[in-house]
Structures are given as structure tokens and as C-alpha cells.
């Protein structure tokens, strides 16, 4: 008989799995075992179909810029930086920064690839223009 | 058949405060002035209020703390915070509460010191960069950059230009010039908007909404009781809500807001055809 105190959600939870992945240099997303949707950000319930049969996997890292902006700052306040929404090849979108390119040269539709970088010592998923 | 809520409730009192910069006040102090003015407009005492509908940024238990501060003892409270549309949500909740008899006199109230005290502090302001676990670490300048991302996508999909977008600010300024309560009433041109300092591409400073301190309150009662009040009642004919996301990257389509759902619902309830 199942123990009523056993959680249906694996321990550690999806958020911790994602954070642990970042710490070890991996970009983890999820896939729904019922509707096959890919999911980001990490959740304990599929936002498409409500299933909790979700598995974690490493993202391909391939994506396309869905929208982009430049947050303008004076140089003494750190200068300008890019803010973008990238649509992953797997489907989900996320906020990020596209780097290794001038922030105002990032274009909607541009092919980009993910890497794990850091902002203020916090590991985050960043993107750069895709090679080739 | 007409919707049950159509015309079921009416606004019988409205209260406003000055708008702009109100330094040295807390949000509740600003809200108090709005509530005082709304009660006076309706000819009611606060003890007659039995439904309270509010929202805010500075208090974790906003509804509880507001009830305590204003000395209310309502039978119904809704302090749901769904951002800028919270008070349309309040209107819907108040009308439903009145229609079902859950309350008879509904007070909707809000006050903000986001301008003079943007980071909160004692009494609370409203922090524009609230923590989003999967966006805040990128330091997005919210709310401006979220709207900028939507505008950039709109320009990409529809060929919308910077000039088109600047017309929004220019039109808002023309309305402000007719409004004695408005803070900025000088003439504004498209060129002025385009030539001001870039904040988040494609938006310049003058594209951006003014952040203001101020408060407002309204009192609703049933349509049956509304006729007994001194002011001509304003009946609620249609209201609609739709909620989709909070973080901008989770918005299903950056060029289609939830108002594309809520708007038709409000028109349908009112029995008004859209043109």
C-alpha cells in the first residue's frame, strides 16, 4: 500500500534540478510524458495538459530570438545590456540576454545558442549568436 | 437573455486624491483620503461598508492590514493582486458580491506612493522589479522592458514604426491637456518623443508611462438601492476578466494581450455589439 506521505513529485523538485544543472554547467528543461510538450521554466505540473509525469533533459541549446530590447544605462552604471526572449528549438520561450554581440545588434529571428554564464555570480542561461 | 450581472450594481460615490508627487505619505494615508472623499460623495459612513475590495504592493496581508487601518469590519474582502487590472477585478468581485447578497455596500479603494517612495520602506511603496524567479536574475528594467519586448515584436510582425508608437504618448498627452488633475500638460510632439533619451529600445523616456502617487475609491450598491443616493448612479453593464501570465517570456503571444478575451466578455455582458 502506498505511503500517503510519499510525494508524487520526485525529490529534489524540478526547480532544484534546474538550479543544480546550472551549477554544473547544464541547461535542463523538461518533457511531459503524456503530451510530449517541452517545458520551461521548471514546473511540477505540465502547463499544457496538467500531467505530473515530467522528465528532465538537457536542452539542445538551439534557439531563435523571439524579441529583443536594450536596457540603456550610463557607462558608470554598467552600460547597456541586451534583454531578449528566446524561443528554444524544443518550443518553450525564456527571458535571457544575448551576448558576444553588441546589444542593439541582436535581431528578431536570429539563430542563437545557449551557454551557462553568470550575472552577479548567479549562474544563468545566456545565449550567443549561433555558429555557421 | 441578459447576463445576471448586467446592471445589477451601480457606482454611487467616487473619491480621488491629488495625483503626482505626494512625498512623506504612506500608501494607506493616500488611500484614506480617497475613501473619505468617496464616502462623502455617497453620503455614507464607513460603518455602512460591508464589502471591501482592494489591492496593493507593500503589505503581505494587504486585505487584513487595510481593513484594520481603515477601521472596517466587512463581511466580504477581495485583495487579489493581479497587477494593473486588479481594480477591474475588484469591480467584478464587488458586483458579484452585491448580486448574491454577500454584501450591500461595496468599497473599492487603492492608493500608491510609487512615485515618491518607489522602494517601499515603512508603509510600503510599490516595487516595480518584484522578484520573478526566472526573469529577475537577468535584471530586466521592469515594467518598461517587458512592454519594450512586446513593442519590438509588434514592429517585427506588423511593420509598426517608432512614430506609430510615439503617437500613443502624444494622444495621452492631448487627453492630459483636457484634465485639470493631470500632472504633465505641456504640448508634446512625435519628434519630442523620438528625441528623448532611450530607456529600453524601442522606448524613449517620453514613450514611458508617468509613475504617480495618488489614490482613488468607489462605492457600489445594488441597482435597487442606487436610486436613493444623491449622485446619479453609474450602472455597471459589462465587466470581463482574463488572466494568462505574469512573466513576459511566458506570454503566449507578445502581440495579443488578455484584453482580447476580457474585452469581448465585457461587451457581451453589456449587450453592446462591437464595431
Q: Nearest CA to CA, how far is B212 from chain A (Å)?
A: 22
What integer pLDDT is reported at residue A5 of this predicted model?
84
Give B31 or B121, the one with higher predicted confidence.
B31
ipTM computed for the complex:
0.89
Cα B225 from Cα B11, distance rounded (Å): 11
Cα diameter, chain A: 64
Mean of the per-residue pLDDT values of chain B = 92
Each domain of chain A, given as residue ranges in start order, spans 14-58, 62-129
What integer pLDDT is reported at residue B80 of this predicted model?
94
Cα B269 from Cα B247, distance rounded (Å): 29
* Residues paired with residue B92 on neighbouring β-strands, in sequence order: none
- Which range scores top for mean pLDDT: A43-47, B19-23, B103-107? B103-107
Q: Over the stretch A17-41, which tens digit does the pLDDT of each residue have?
A: 999 999 999 999 999 999 999 999 9
Q: CB A15 to CB B200 under 8 A?
A: no
Q: Nearest CA to CA, how far is A84 from chain B (Å)?
A: 7
pLDDT band at B123 (very low <50, low <70, confident <90, very high): very low
Instruction: Judge whether residue B133 has pLDDT over 90.
Output: no
Average pLDDT over residues B234-248: 95
What integer pLDDT is reported at residue B129 of this predicted model?
43
Low-confidence stretches of chain A (pLDDT beneath 70): 1-2
Average pLDDT over residues B11-37: 94
Domains of chain B: 9-128+211-270 (3.40.47.10), 136-207 (no CATH)
Q: CB A70 to CB B201 under 8 A?
A: yes
Q: CB A124 to CB B138 under 8 A?
A: yes
Instruction: Judge whether residue B233 has pLDDT over 80.
Output: yes
What integer pLDDT is reported at residue B126 of this predicted model?
44
What integer pLDDT is reported at residue B275 of this predicted model?
57
Q: CB A67 to CB B133 under 8 A?
A: no
pLDDT band at B119 (very low <50, low <70, confident <90, very high): low
Cα B62 from Cα B56, distance rounded (Å): 7
What integer pLDDT is reported at residue B122 of this predicted model?
41
- Residue A119 near residue A109, CB atoms below 8 Å: no
Q: CB A95 to CB B247 under 8 A?
A: yes
Q: Nearest CA to CA, how far is B118 from chain A (Å)?
A: 19
Give B132 or B42, the one with higher predicted confidence.
B42
Q: B132 to chain A: nearest residue by CA?
A: A95
Average pLDDT over residues B86-91: 96
**How many other C-beta atoms are found inside a 10 Å radius of the C-beta of residue A27?**
20
In a mutagenesis test of the A interface, which of B128, B143, B152 is the best target, namely the one with the most A β-carbons within 10 Å?
B152
A-B Cβ pairs (cutoff 8 Å, strict): 72
* Chain A interface includes B133 (CB < 8 A): yes
A-chain CB neighbours of B149 within 8 Å are 67-69, 83-85
CA atoms within 13 A on the CB side of B59: 21
Cα A80 from Cα B273, distance rounded (Å): 47
Q: B135 to chain A: nearest residue by CA?
A: A95
* From B133, B138, B202, residue closest to A83, measured CB to CB: B138
Q: CB B137 to CB A119 under 8 A?
A: yes
What integer pLDDT is reported at residue A6 of this predicted model?
85
Q: CB A109 to CB B138 under 8 A?
A: no
* From B137, B140, B141, residue closest to A122, measured CB to CB: B137
**How many other C-beta atoms are found inside a 10 Å radius of the C-beta of residue B156?**
18
Q: CB A104 to CB B133 under 8 A?
A: no
Q: CB B200 to CB A109 under 8 A?
A: no
Q: Which residues contact A89 (CB under 8 A, 6 or more apart)?
A: A60, A62, A63, A64
Instruction: Judge whether residue B163 has pLDDT over 50.
Output: yes
What integer pLDDT is reported at residue B60 of this predicted model?
83
Structural domain A62-129, CATH architecture: Beta Barrel (2.40)
What integer pLDDT is reported at residue A1 of this predicted model?
61
Amino acid at each position: 500500500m502506498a505511503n500517503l506521505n510519499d510525494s508524487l513529485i520526485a525529490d529534489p523538485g524540478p526547480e532544484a534540478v534546474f538550479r543544480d544543472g546550472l551549477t554544473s554547467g547544464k541547461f535542463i528543461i523538461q518533457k511531459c510524458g503524456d503530451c510530449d510538450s517541452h517545458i520551461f521554466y521548471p514546473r511540477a505540473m505540465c502547463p499544457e495538459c496538467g500531467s505530473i509525469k515530467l522528465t528532465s533533459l538537457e536542452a539542445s541549446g538551439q534557439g531563435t530570438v523571439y524579441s529583443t530590447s536594450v536596457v540603456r544605462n550610463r557607462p558608470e552604471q554598467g552600460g547597456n545590456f541586451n534583454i531578449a526572449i528566446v524561443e528554444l528549438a524544443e518550443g518553450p520561450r525564456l527571458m535571457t540576454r544575448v551576448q558576444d554581440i553588441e546589444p542593439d545588434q541582436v535581431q528578431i529571428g536570429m539563430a542563437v545558442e545557449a551557454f551557462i554564464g553568470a550575472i552577479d555570480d548567479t549562474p544563468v542561461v545566456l545565449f550567443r549568436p549561433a555558429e555557421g | 437573455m441578459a447576463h445576471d450581472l448586467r446592471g445589477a450594481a451601480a457606482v454611487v460615490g467616487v473619491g480621488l486624491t491629488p495625483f503626482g508627487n505626494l512625498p512623506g505619505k504612506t500608501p494607506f494615508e493616500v488611500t484614506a483620503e480617497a475613501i473619505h472623499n468617496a464616502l462623502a460623495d455617497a453620503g455614507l459612513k464607513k460603518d455602512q461598508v460591508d464589502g471591501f475590495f482592494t489591492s496593493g504592493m507593500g503589505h503581505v496581508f494587504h486585505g487584513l492590514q487595510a481593513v484594520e487601518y481603515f477601521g472596517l469590519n466587512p463581511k466580504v474582502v477581495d485583495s487579489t493582486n493581479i497587477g494593473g487590472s486588479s481594480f477591474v477585478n475588484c469591480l467584478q468581485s464587488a458586483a458579484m458580491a452585491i448580486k448574491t447578497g454577500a454584501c450591500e455596500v461595496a468599497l473599492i479603494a487603492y492608493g500608491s506612493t510609487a512615485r515618491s517612495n518607489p522602494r517601499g520602506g515603512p508603509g510600503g511603496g510599490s516595487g516595480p522589479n518584484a522578484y520573478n524567479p526566472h526573469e529577475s536574475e537577468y535584471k530586466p528594467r521592469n515594467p518598461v522592458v517587458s512592454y519594450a519586448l512586446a513593442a519590438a515584436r509588434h514592429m517585427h510582425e506588423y511593420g509598426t514604426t517608432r512614430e506609430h508608437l510615439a503617437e500613443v504618448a502624444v494622444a495621452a498627452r492631448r487627453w492630459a491637456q483636457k484634465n485639470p488633475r493631470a500632472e504633465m500638460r505641456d504640448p508634446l510632439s512625435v519628434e519630442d518623443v523620438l528625441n528623448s533619451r532611450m530607456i529600453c529600445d524601442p522606448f524613449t523616456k517620453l514613450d514611458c508611462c508617468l509613475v504617480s502617487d495618488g489614490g482613488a475609491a468607489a462605492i457600489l450598491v445594488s441597482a435597487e438601492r442606487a436610486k436613493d443616493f444623491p449622485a446619479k448612479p453609474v450602472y455597471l453593464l459589462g465587466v470581463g476578466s482574463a488572466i494568462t501570465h505574469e512573466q513576459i517570456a511566458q506570454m503566449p503571444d507578445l502581440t495579443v494581450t488578455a484584453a482580447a478575451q476580457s474585452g469581448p466578455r465585457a461587451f457581451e455582458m453589456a449587450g453592446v455589439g462591437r464595431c
